Amino acid sequence: MSKIHFKGLNTYRAIAALLVVVGHIEMFKSKHGLAHYLNEPYFYYTGGHIGVVLFFALSGFLITYLLLKERSEKKEISLKNFYMRRILRVWPVYFLVLLISYLCTDFVPAPITLLLCLTIFPNVAHALNKDWTVSPQIWSIGVEEQFYLVWPFLLKTFKNILLVSAFIYFSLLLFPHVAVRLLTKYASQPAGAIEFINNLFYGTKFSCMASGAFFACIYFIKPRILDAFYSWKIMNYLLVALPFVLWFSSFHVIYVNDEFYSVLFGISILLIATNPNLVDIDTKLGTFLGKISYGIYMYHWIILEVLFRNGLYRDFHQSLLTTAVLYAETIALTILVAAASYYGLERRILLKKEQYVS
């Protein structure tokens, strides 16, 4: 199968990863009793969590398109090859982060935490309030791996995958709200179950990945209306920018905020990546940061743990200078570690993926 490159997506990955780091810096400041910006509208209503939603939409779009292309060209999808590619891309850094975060801190995981995280169910650990607290961002890796455990089977089984992706999106959007309503009405002691459902579905955003998959299906099918829409250049640019404008202006939708943004991101990704009339926003810096974005996302929490545990910011005061130093140090160290990981480890492992490309 020929290699596919979608323009602009590395820059989107870079934006998502760096804004997750920003959100977590403020969380660390709050956690250590320091002045922070978490109560400001941007962090309170949207924050770095929306960066994870962008990651989900990106992943759903790209991998779904690749699977559909494989199905079209080869008349089948090799599940073995797909799962080996996922394992080689995700697992080495995932387990390395678990090991490093354990060795570099005094964290002792509970047995259930250890079991769930070692079996790639960190999002379930999160729902049970049994997080791997020294690298809790790993919950999203569980979401992706669980989604892709099932998604290729659906692509192999159903021809109308556009309808399937829409069904998954709306089903998972509605289910937690319906379940909570029923528990509230009929269960004698619903508090524990409601908390679990809220935590699980806040952290398990299969719907957001299904949203990205839906727009990949649209592009793969390429209806005539899409080609006509591409010609509306100004409208396309407005739709590309819309989710970021709303995000950075703290716009939020009660109950379905993540799903709302996943749809807008799906449209934005579709247009910036596939419309030949729009400029390629990838730069050398954006491409570099996009390539190492997985490492940025995975390693930054460990770096924050080390910085704060060593007391470097114990007497931190919320001044412009100290804030700038904290941000610069955290981001610079994160990029350095992520780059070393990518070029020293990940890229070598990724070369092995070639034997599993159909």
In this predicted structure, the answer to whether residue 1 has a pLDDT above a threshold of 60 is: no
Q: Whole-angstrom Cα distance, residue 117 to residue 126?
A: 10
pLDDT tens-place string over residues 7-45:
999 999 999 999 999 999 988 888 877 777 777 776 766
Take residue 189 and report the two structure tokens written for it.
Answer: 């002691």
Q: Given this model, what pLDDT does residue 310 score?
A: 67
Of 204, 198, 194, give the one whose Cα is nearest residue 122. 204
Q: Given this model, what pLDDT does residue 307 score?
A: 85
Q: Which of 57-61, 80-84, 188-192 has the lowest mean pLDDT?
A: 188-192
* pLDDT bracket for residue 255 (50, 70, 90): confident
Q: Whole-angstrom Cα distance, residue 27 to residue 46?
A: 13
- pTM (two decimals): 0.90
Average pLDDT over residues 224-244: 91
- Between 2 and 284, the more confident residue is 284
Cα distances (angstroms) measured from residue 333 to each of 18, 30, 264, 297, 307? 12, 21, 32, 12, 10
* pLDDT bracket for residue 106 (50, 70, 90): confident
Q: Given this model, what pLDDT does residue 43 score?
A: 72
Q: Give 185's Cβ-side CA count (13 Å radius).
A: 6
Q: Given this model, what pLDDT does residue 58 score?
A: 96
pLDDT tens-place string over residues 287-342:
999 999 999 999 999 999 888 876 666 665 666 777 788 899 999 999 999 999 99
Residues near 158 by Cβ (< 8 Å), separated by ≥ 6?
Answer: 164
Q: Whole-angstrom Cα distance, residue 239 to residue 244?
A: 10
Q: Given this model, what pLDDT does residue 344 score?
A: 94
Q: Whole-angstrom Cα distance, residue 260 to residue 317?
A: 36
- Between 295 and 3, the more confident residue is 295
In this predicted structure, the answer to whether residue 118 has a pLDDT above a threshold of 80 is: yes
Q: Given this model, what pLDDT does residue 318 score?
A: 61
Please report, for the chain, the start and end positions of each structural domain, with discontinuous segments joined by +.
Answer: 9-22+47-79+106-284
